[in-house]
Structure 1
Amino acid sequence: MGIRRIGKHLFSSRGKVARAFPPSSLDAIERAIKASEAQHVGQIRFVVEGALDNAPLFRDQPARERALDIFSQLRIWDTEHNNGILIYVLLADRDVEIIADRGIYVRVGDGTWEDICREMESAFREGQFEAGVLRGIELITAHLATHFPNDGTGTNELPDAPVVV
């Protein structure tokens, strides 16, 4: 565990999340998720967390592990066709993780999601948080529309609104 990481998390505030993702950005992300889900039967959730709380921070919990916790807590795995996907942003680390449920994972491997994460992180480094997330959703949509096209029978099983932790 690095002192630098601890400092970034301890001195990160909710204000930092609000500056990176103001209400207008969260609304744009919600609209993008709605539009995305009209093209496929996948279920997308977006979660942004400013910084880790003390317990996970001092355990040196990686962003990937935290994303898996969030995936479980929000019950993204609990969809009829195991077609949930989480886009998780840990803002203090500027780290993006994408967790795909097993129904999606069998058709689209880890490499695809890693590439999308890196592209989003690149936009974040330039301060383009909303644009980075919208691009990520666009790329995810292309894969889900290919492998899980909307056949007219899908229902919106998960909320589309972003979650700020």
Structure 2
Amino acid sequence: MAENHASTSSFARWWRQVLFVPLLHSKWLTAEAKARLTDEVTRAERGHRGEVFLIVENHLPIQDAYHMDCRERAIDLFSEYRVWDTEENTGVLIYVNICEHQLEIVADRGISTHVSPTVWHAMCEKAVSGISNKKTEESLAELLDEVGQVLRQYYQLEHNPAGNELSDTVVFLK
């Protein structure tokens, strides 16, 4: 995760996307694992007014991979899935790119006024380390819990409201 960041075109990045074979890398994301992570998103949203959204993607879209890196992709998905469109601007997108072995957190302006980019960066680094050690689901579950704790710190509720502004279902983009 980088805060002030300008993407550079990369032929190597494009080739990694072209040569990526999903069957060799995303076996861990079974229907059961996806259901467990969806439950983790639901748990991460308890006790606060924020919204947590998890997207796992095999690789960057081939047509964009030369000019777009994972941070830019995460920002595009933040917009596409309307994570920015929560009432108090407290949406947090967690984006995992399997091919690039990267994880990005994009936080809306409401929560960004409270949480330093270094906090998000440290969370990403910890999760990426766990993913590198073949503990992908566990690392993402821990990350979701940590994001929930941060949101509770600033947007705590005595009890959750009836509504849920964004779906808790993990989005998997092949």
User: 2:130, 2:58 → 1: CA distance?
Assistant: 17
Q: Which runs of 5+ in 2 are unaligned?
A: 1-9
Residues 73-122 of structure 1 deviation map (CA, whole Å, 9 limit, x = unaligned): 00011111111110000110110000000111001121111000001100
In angstroms, what is the RMSD of aligned CA positions? Answer: 1.5
The residue aligned with 2:19 is: 11
Judging changes above 3 Å, is the alpha-carbon distance between structure 1 residues 29 and 153 closer, same or farther for their aligned structure 2 residues?
closer
Given that 1:17 and 1:49 are in contact with CA atoms closer than 8 Å, whether structure 2 keeps it comes out as no
Give the percent of matched residue pairs that are identical in Structure 1 and Structure 2. Answer: 26
1:106 equivalent to 2:113? Answer yes
The residue aligned with 1:26 is: 34
User: 2:89, 2:158 → 1: CA distance?
Assistant: 16
User: 1:92, 1:27 → 2: CA distance?
Assistant: 22
Q: Which runs of 5+ in 1 are unaligned?
A: none
Normalised by the size of structure 2, how large is the TM-score? 0.87
| Residue number among 136, 159, 164 corresponding to 2:167 in the alignment | 159
Given that 1:41 and 1:151 are in contact with CA atoms closer than 8 Å, whether structure 2 keeps it comes out as no
Deviation at 1:136, TM superposition (A): 0.4
3-state SS of 2:54 partner: strand
User: 1:90, 1:113 → 2: CA distance?
Assistant: 17
Judging changes above 3 Å, is the alpha-carbon distance between structure 1 residues 2 and 143 closer, same or farther for their aligned structure 2 residues?
same
Given that 1:40 and 1:149 are in contact with CA atoms closer than 8 Å, whether structure 2 keeps it comes out as yes
User: 1:134, 1:11 → 2: CA distance?
Assistant: 29
Q: How many residues align?
A: 163
Judging changes above 3 Å, is the alpha-carbon distance between structure 1 residues 131 and 138 closer, same or farther for their aligned structure 2 residues?
same
Residues 26-47 of structure 1 deviation map (CA, whole Å, 9 limit, x = unaligned): 1111101111211211100000
